[in-house]
Structure 1
């Protein structure tokens, strides 16, 4: 029987997940869980690189993020959920990988550069933050994942992981296959304010757990076309968050209406308010089953805790096996 290929993906537990996470990664996870052996990691150690002064926030959000994953339709009988900090072998593997990557290479990583600028570190960059791509490589390679579903903005991380695997194999013999990235259909979902990325920290996100009225309020306050002063003015559809969201979350049955709105919007024959009301309805229709599933888990946090505990135990067994191979390859297996 052919061995099932393996997926690893992760979330930083710094807050609840939002629509950007869904189009970037969660949708792929749901679709692939029947085809691949799937592992989902709560990356609490990585979250501490820029939340080291607020560990309670990270701890609380491990449960929240896991519930979001379960709520979108991930099946705990098919998917292994685990917590990064509870697998010390990842930290050990990270140390070995640090010898394979230069500081200059880390600083060239576009994802790291963007996030450093966003977080305003200046010259006070924590070493842990700068080196987290190495930790991410250890996360992926300890499980020997074949596929990593991520948003397009994470592609430099996948490439860095592949480089580390290649370098390790060339030095010590073949231990790791190079993983592939699987990217979402929407490269990156813009924020409600029109900024390039929806983000918890930028306060421009619609969360999967947001109630109906909150979704409506956020949509009604959404940035559209700043050059359009009256609804009779022709408006731009390209790059307009309203229509980006309609394309991302509208069903096939909605396409006729969406195309009609696009045509009328460009001719100045429909106002922002009407299109926003339509979008709010589409988003709430999409989020309703997610909110219902989440409510069930919110009432049973002990069930979520058990899912994490059992999954972490399984993932650690894999980590121990990989570390034995790594140490043997690196001549560090002193006591056989």
Structure 2
């Protein structure tokens, strides 16, 4: 398994800088971040290097897009006091770890990532015949591993990227975790646990390695977590020694499946800027009302007294996100009986969207008027993130014989 329980409370997630966010981003990603920040040690970052993997020739809008997105994060409730917010390129250790991992990652692992060929098909107008595009899943792995994140919030389509990260970490630990004299150092570390602790550790190790006792593994990991008189390096050795592997330098992360976003666009498709069917978090209230009033509805409702079917109406999808059961029952009955018209049906959605976005707009206006504060938040978050990343790189360099002390 090669996992280190001490890292399991750390969560990492990032977004490419796309500029101002819309409701699809909010319900699909940011709302989840707001909840996670109260339960985990969260690192949320702007993936500006990742933007270059598909748009390296179009850099003029990156900086503006970065600040617009950060403002929307803050306005939506992501709290810099609870989570570290930073820009990927402000932490160069991401790039160094990516380079070092590329030295030992088989080329075939990258070529088989499903999104590699999928994106080439979808973005035929882009020049994707670059090393950066081929290597971007490994850069994602470096993003995760440099913080030893225990959890990575992803949708089902991104689980494969977390699995690649696990494979990379496993291979790294296998190659570099077998430091010279590993077993001797591990045995010496066991003795530092005291007679009682050492005896229990050895028994739990035996039960796991000889009988595959998962409960013994969990108890052994908990025992190591409780030890106050062993160093971080010794603890990492003992986690690996417990499992029968080498020293765990880069723990394997776990995918945290996020609920599938049900936020449809104004035409019933997935909300996306490329479909021009979005409502942005800072959209003007009058513009929101106008967009929603003009939404297409059931095409069979040509006249006011024609009955309709909510199941084929894009507006119903919004009711499923925003409306109470009572309102949904009213819509279902009124639409099928032609007891209400489409404009009446849309009004509760308009009111609900306005109520959700009003406080976000107000907070965004405050951050728009205080750009120095936004930049300070990112500067402090980037420095805090870099402190953690530096520690990981120190261990990685030492394991790879690059410490030169």
TM-score (normalised: structure 1): 0.88
The aligned residue for residue 259 of structure 2 is 185
> What is the rounded CA distance, in whole Å, between the counterparts of 1:123 and 1:62 in structure 2?
23
Find the residue that maps to 2:152 and give its secondary structure.
strand
Secondary structure of the 2:13 match is: strand
How big is the alpha-carbon RMSD for the aligned residues of Structure 1 and Structure 2?
2.6
Shift in CA distance, 241/130, structure 1 to aligned 2, threshold 3 Å:
farther
Deviation of 1:104 after TM superposition, in Å, equals 4.7
Is 1:80–1:311's contact at 8 Å kept on the other side of the alignment? yes
Give 1:85's aligned residue: 89
Q: CA deviation at 1:97?
A: 2.6
Q: Secondary structure at the match of 2:274?
A: coil
How big is each residue's C-alpha offset from its partner over 1:177-231, in whole Å with a ceiling of 9 and x where there is no partner?
2222333333453332222x32223322221111212222332333444455445
Counterpart among 64, 68, 72 of residue 68 in structure 1 = 72
Offset of residue 154 of structure 1: 2.8
Residue 352 of structure 2 is aligned to residue 282 of structure 1 = yes
Q: Does structure 2 retain, via aligned residues, the 8 Å contact 1:153–1:188? A: no
Question: Aligned in 2, Cα 1:82/1:219: closer, same or farther, shift over 3 Å?
Answer: same
Are 1:299 and 2:369 an aligned pair? yes
How high is the TM-score relative to the length of structure 2?
Answer: 0.74
2:150·2:251 contact (CA, 8 Å) conserved in 1?
yes
Other-structure match for 2:149: 145
Check conservation: 1:111, 1:157, Cα contact below 8 A. Answer: no
Q: Distance in 2 between matches of 1:158 and 1:165?
A: 10
**Mapping of residues 159-198 of structure 1, within 5 Å:** 159-173=163-177, 174-187=248-261, 189-195=263-269, 197-198=270-271
Q: Tell me what 1:259 maps to.
A: 329
Q: CA deviation at 1:113?
A: 4.3
Provide the rounded CA distance (Å) in 2 between the counterparts of 1:14 and 1:237: 33
Count how many residue pairs are aligned between Structure 1 and Structure 2.
Answer: 330
Q: Distance in 1 between matches of 2:322 and 2:374?
A: 28
Q: 1:272 to 1:106 in 2, by over 3 A?
A: farther
- The residue aligned with 1:210 is 283
Determine if contact 1:223/1:241 at 8 Å carries over to the other structure. yes
Matched, 1:119 2:123: yes
2:398 pairs, out of 308, 313, 328, with 328
Shift of 1:121: 4.0
Q: Unaligned 5+ residue runs, structure 2?
A: 1-5, 178-247
Which residue of structure 2 aligns with residue 237 of structure 1?
310
Q: Which moved more, 1:309-318 or 1:178-187?
A: 178-187
The residue number in structure 1 matching 2:272 is 199
Distance 2:115 2:265 in 1: 18
2:62 matched residue in structure 1: 58
**Superposed CA offset, 1:98-149 (max 9, x none):** 3454555434434444444333347754332232121111111111112222
Query: Are 1:312 and 2:386 an aligned pair?
Result: no
How big is the shift at 1:233?
Answer: 4.6
How far is 1:39 from its partner?
1.3
- Alpha-carbon distance between aligned partners in 2 of 1:111 and 1:240, rounded to the nearest angstrom: 31
2:14 equivalent to 1:10: yes
CA distance in 2, matches of 1:107, 1:270: 54
Unmatched tracts of structure 1, length 5 or more: none
| Bigger share in helix | 2
Distance 1:274 1:259 in 2: 14
Q: What residue in structure 2 maps to residue 247 of structure 1?
A: 320
Distance 1:238 1:135, change over 3 A: farther
